[in-house]
């Protein structure tokens, strides 16, 4: 293949490059490589006949399935035929009557615009123009005008830029409110506040804990479910709240009650589905962190609380963003940056000790003190495993804790048993 032209898109912007190919009526392959991304366009007499990318989601077949233009079994059949015949996918789809030329042109046009948008956003990269095009791409059924896709991609880029500018303004306002404490914190459920005051009193008794809990029969039922689960049961059925407190201790009962009640909390201006996802992950992380802590002989109750509260700051940020139109990816990025700090603030307002506040603040960095914080490691590891599954988690952290995979799987299984016991109780 002969190289006709090569350079950078800084020196020759992509729209200019494509227009040059169109005006010259060139038949060529245009390859563009940006940092971590690449795209290939086949052009015949200045018209785009095919496009693809190293990014699987931006290959024509996968792109059409994701956008419901084609179903997956049909794509698989067409790709097999394409390989057997040695022709590009569009030719198979048209010849086989799978898609009309108009429908395929629309799909390819949308794919090309998506590829161009990605390249324009990078603002830098290298290009190579070479010829001839592969024989499989020659005489394809689709011919896209370069001017049309350039116009659509530039227009969409300008729209996205404006949306991002508006979003950054909204994020700036949210940030100002966070910095000035101009937001409403969630209210700790009353039963947890009462239990906290009793547990912190050195002269408190099991009977005082029992009296608070016994006002809520549903709560008792759920606590006993947890107490009799494989994660907590050490032999013998626990059939009363008094026995549960005696066997498990005040702190464990406080934590389990906190988990159950917090999973039912309402937060203003937070969509229920998003809220429930955060609360459910917190519940799982709490029980997993506690179980892992027992395996590592670390304080399981402190690990539990750190896991339960670690992502609570997300709810405040989502609440503040409820009346904005911030792009979801941009908002997620902001949430990831600020949620730990806001979560630690919530814990301080709720009068949790400084050790818990630090666990929340640094739950993505258990080396925050310059050396491994054992409880922080439990929370960080549990958080990662809940997001990725029992075979996931930080491999280096697992190795440093000398935690075998089968132990993690056991605790994960117990965690899911407790979680669904609470949710279905």
What number is the average pLDDT over the span 28-36?
94
**What pTM was computed for the model?**
0.65
Q: List the domain range (segments joined by +) for residue 154.
A: 2-164
pLDDT for position 48: 96
Q: Is residue 313 part of a domain?
A: yes
pLDDT for position 283: 93
Q: Are residues 208 and 89 in the same domain?
A: no
Q: Are residues 203 and 158 in the same domain?
A: no
224: CATH: 1.10.3210.10
Calpha distance 373→1 (Å, rounded): 58
Query: Residue 234 pLDDT > 80, yes or no?
Result: no
Q: Is residue 316 part of a domain?
A: yes
Q: Is residue 176 part of a domain?
A: no
Q: Are residues 372 and 233 in the same domain?
A: yes
Q: At what angle do helices 250-262 and 241-248 cross, to 10 degrees?
A: 120
Q: What percent of the chain has pLDDT over 90?
A: 52
Answer yes or no: are the C-beta atoms of 146 and 25 closer than 8 Å.
Answer: no
**Based on the structure, what is the number of domains in the chain?**
2
Beta bridge partners, 260, equal: none
Comparing 309 with 267, which gets the higher pLDDT?
Answer: 309
pLDDT for position 33: 95
pLDDT for position 425: 66
Lowest-confidence region among 130-139, 234-243, 295-304: 234-243
What number is the average pLDDT over the span 245-253?
88
Q: Is residue 174 part of a domain?
A: no
Q: Is residue 390 part of a domain?
A: yes
Q: Is residue 242 part of a domain?
A: yes
Q: At what angle do helices 206-213 and 241-248 cross, to 10 degrees?
A: 130
Structure tokens at 333: 């990025």
Write 323-332 long-range contacts (CB < 8 A, 24+). Answer: 323/269, 324/167, 324/170, 324/174, 325/163, 325/166, 325/167, 325/170, 326/167, 326/170, 326/171, 327/163, 327/164, 327/167, 330/164, 330/167, 330/168, 330/171, 331/167, 331/171
Comparing 106 with 323, which gets the higher pLDDT?
Answer: 106
- Residue 298 gets the label, from left (phi > 0), alpha (psi -120 to 50) or beta, of beta
Domain boundary among 102, 132, 164: 164
- Give the residue carrying structure tokens 């934590």: 255
Q: Are residues 217 and 314 in the same domain?
A: yes
Calpha distance 32→27 (Å, rounded): 16
Answer yes or no: are the C-beta atoms of 253 and 240 closer than 8 Å.
Answer: no
Phi, then psi, of 2 in degrees rounded to 5:
-90, 130
Domain boundary among 131, 164, 197: 164
What number is the average pLDDT over the span 173-180?
85
CA atoms within 13 A on the CB side of 111: 31
pLDDT for position 111: 96
Q: Are residues 224 and 153 in the same domain?
A: no
What number is the average pLDDT over the span 193-215?
88
Answer yes or no: are the C-beta atoms of 127 and 12 closer than 8 Å.
Answer: yes
Q: Is residue 91 part of a domain?
A: yes
pLDDT digits (tens, 9 = 90+) for 33-64: 998 899 999 999 999 999 999 998 999 999 99
Q: Are residues 10 and 44 in the same domain?
A: yes
pLDDT digits (tens, 9 = 90+) for 341-378: 999 988 988 888 999 999 999 999 999 888 889 999 99
- Give the residue carrying structure tokens 């309402």: 266
What number is the average pLDDT over the span 141-167?
87
pLDDT for position 158: 86
Query: Residue 262 pLDDT > 80, yes or no?
Result: yes
Phi, then psi, of 30 in degrees rounded to 5:
-105, 115
Q: Are residues 137 and 198 in the same domain?
A: no
Q: Are residues 149 and 206 in the same domain?
A: no
pLDDT band at 423 (very low <50, low <70, confident <90, very high): confident
pLDDT for position 150: 92
Q: Are residues 265 and 334 in the same domain?
A: yes
Q: Are residues 45 and 139 in the same domain?
A: yes
pLDDT digits (tens, 9 = 90+) for 93-142: 999 999 999 999 999 999 999 999 999 888 889 999 999 999 999 888 99
Domain boundary among 164, 192, 214: 164
Q: Are residues 96 and 231 in the same domain?
A: no
β-sheet with 28-34: strand ranges across: 2-8, 126-131, 28-34, 37-44, 47-53
Q: Is residue 171 part of a domain?
A: no
Phi, then psi, of 130 in degrees rounded to 5:
-135, 165
Q: Are residues 151 and 243 in the same domain?
A: no
Q: Give the chain's mean pLDDT.
A: 90
Query: Residue 90 pLDDT > 90, yes or no?
Result: yes
pLDDT band at 184 (very low <50, low <70, confident <90, very high): confident
């Amino acid at each position: 293949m002969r190289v006709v032209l090569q350079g950078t898109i800084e020196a020759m912007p992509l729209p200019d490059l494509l227009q040059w190919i169109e005006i010259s009526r060139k038949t060529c392959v245009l390859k563009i490589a940006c940092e971590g991304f690449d795209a290939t366009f086949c052009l015949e007499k200045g018209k785009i006949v095919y496009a693809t990318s190293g990014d699987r989601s931006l290959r024509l077949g996968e792109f059409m399935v994701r956008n419901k233009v084609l179903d997956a079994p049909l794509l698989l059949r067409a790709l097999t035929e394409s390989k057997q015949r040695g022709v590009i996918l569009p030719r198979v789809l048209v010849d086989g009557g799978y898609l009309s030329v108009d429908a395929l042109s629309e799909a390819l046009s949308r794919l090309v615009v998506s590829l161009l948008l990605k390249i324009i956003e990078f603002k830098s990269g290298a290009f190579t123009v070479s010829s001839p095009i592969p024989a499989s791409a020659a005489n394809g059924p689709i011919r896209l005008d370069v001017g049309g896709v350039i116009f659509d991609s530039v227009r969409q880029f300008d729209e996205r830029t404006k949306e991002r500018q508006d979003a950054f303004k909204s994020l700036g306002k949210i940030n100002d409110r966070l910095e000035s404490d101009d937001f409403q914190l969630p209210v700790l459920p009353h039963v947890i506040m009462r239990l906290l005051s009793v547990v912190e009193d050195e002269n408190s008794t099991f009977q005082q804990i029992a009296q608070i809990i016994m006002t809520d029969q549903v709560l008792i039922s759920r606590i006993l479910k947890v107490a009799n689960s494989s994660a907590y049961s050490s032999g013998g059925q626990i059939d009363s709240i008094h026995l549960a407190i005696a066997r498990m201790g005040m702190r464990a009962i406080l934590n389990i009650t906190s988990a159950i009640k917090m999973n039912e909390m309402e937060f203003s201006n937070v969509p229920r589905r998003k809220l429930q996802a955060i609360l459910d992950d917190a519940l799982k992380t709490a029980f997993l962190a506690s179980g892992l802590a027992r395996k590592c002989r670390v304080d399981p109750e402190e690990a539990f609380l750190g896991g339960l509260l670690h992502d609570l700051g997300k709810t405040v940020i989502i609440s503040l963003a409820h009346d904005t139109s911030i792009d979801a990816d941009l908002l997620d990025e902001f949430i990831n940056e600020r949620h730990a700090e806001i979560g630690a603030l919530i814990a301080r307002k709720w009068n949790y000790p400084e050790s818990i506040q630090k666990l929340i603040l640094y739950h993505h960095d258990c080396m925050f003190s310059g050396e491994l914080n054992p409880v922080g490691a439990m929370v960080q590891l549990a958080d990662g495993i809940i997001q990725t599954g029992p075979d996931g988690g930080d491999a280096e952290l697992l190795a440093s804790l000398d935690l075998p995979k089968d132990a993690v799987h056991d605790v994960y299984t117990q965690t899911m048993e407790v979680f669904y016991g609470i949710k279905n109780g």
